Homo-oligomer: A and B are copies of this chain.
Amino acid sequence: MKITIADVAQKAKVSKTTVSRIINGNYAHTTEETKQKVLRAIEELEYRPNALAQGLKATKTNVIGMILSNLKNPFWSTVLEGIEDTCRASGYHLMIFNSNENELVEKELIKEFKTRRVDGIIIHPTCKDQLIYDRLIEEKHPLVIINRRVDNPMATGVVVDNVKGAYIAVNHLLKYGRTGVAVAVFQNPYVSTWKERVEGYKKAMLANGYAEEQCKILELEEGKPQIEPIKRWIKRNSDVDAIFSTNTTVTLEVIGALKDMGKQIPHEIAIVSYDETIWSKYIDPPLTTIKQPGYVMGQQAAQCLIDQIETKEMLEPQMNVLVPELIIRASCGAIPQD
């Protein structure tokens, strides 16, 4: 049988009101003596208030809902760390749901969060149908969009400058002396990060004197092995001597294909990969990567959300843009000085 506030009240021979006041640090209406009596009763009965009842009364749960699309990507564990640390510091707890990049699931999960009356939501969006986000924003539901962009200009969020990241990566490949630089990317026109990284690729190509038609885009299908398609593509495009790979999964597929074909990295084909991981420097060859500030991203997202929750008036929408960083290793080493 669960201990309730009434049990504590009875044991301490006071009213529920008094117990409630003491729990919530409202000692103005109590003598030291009753306070001690009540605290002792709480201690002895090991009373813990029922968060459901508290939440119901206060319409506040101290829970933040997070929807991410793919827990497997190790990038998220860093982001989550930032979110968790920030939440903990302000007394919030995190409820993490996984949409698996599935639009329908994401919609269901948002409903579930509403049902559970979470105080705010952080979303890594997968939906093409932007209406869902519009609705949340319109309802003034505390919301932070993370990593990917949504159309609504009133959205608050934290993203990384993917155009810039891609630009740095491709520029490095070109300055390294490569003339046939391709980009490998998952084929999904609705994901802003992929779009931006291809955009950054093109921007760097044009800035280095290449024409739009000289851009080589290797589009891959998500969710199944891509080694064979990649091999076929590379055979068809024999002038490719460098690949900018737009995420970790793609990178592994590309490396797998190149090893299969016996291609030397970086001698025959150089690689720069998006996302730095603990493994990057131990790969054969060690990978040159674009490192995103995941922890900071998490921190900022959580803090934005908490500010929204705890501020009465509507906050100005803000879009924090973080800057990625190039980490140079053997898969496309230092730029030769001439």
Q: Which residues on A are within 8 Å of B, measured CB to CB? A: 2, 48-53, 55-56, 59, 61, 71-72, 74, 77-78, 80-81, 84, 93-98, 111-112, 114-117, 252, 255-256, 277-279, 281-286
Contact = CB atoms under 8 A, between A and B. Distances in A.
B279 A51 contact: no
Contacts of A116: 51-52, 93
A-B interface, 6 closest residue pairs, ranked by CB to CB distance from nearest: A284-B284, A279-B279, A52-B56, A51-B116, A52-B55, A71-B77
Contact of A56 (B53, B114, B286): B53
A48 B139 CA distance: 15
Contact of A95 (B95, B112, B279, B285): B95
A2 to B, nearest CB: 8
A61 B71 contact: no
Contacts of A284: 282-286
Nearest to A116: B51
9 contacts: A48-B114, A51-B115, A71-B77, A72-B74, A72-B278, A93-B95, A94-B95, A252-B278, A279-B279
Nearest to A78: B72
Given A282-B284, A283-B279, A81 B72 contact: yes
A67 to B, nearest CB: 12
A11 B154 CA distance: 33
Contacts of A285: 284
A84 B56 contact: no
B50 A115 contact: yes
Contacts of A98: 80, 84
A72 B77 contact: yes
Nearest to A118: B51
A206 to B, nearest CB: 32
Contact of A282 (B72, B94, B96, B256): B256
A93 B63 CA distance: 14
Given A93-B95, A277-B279, 11 more contacts: A50-B117, A52-B52, A52-B56, A71-B80, A72-B74, A93-B112, A93-B116, A94-B96, A96-B96, A282-B284, A284-B284
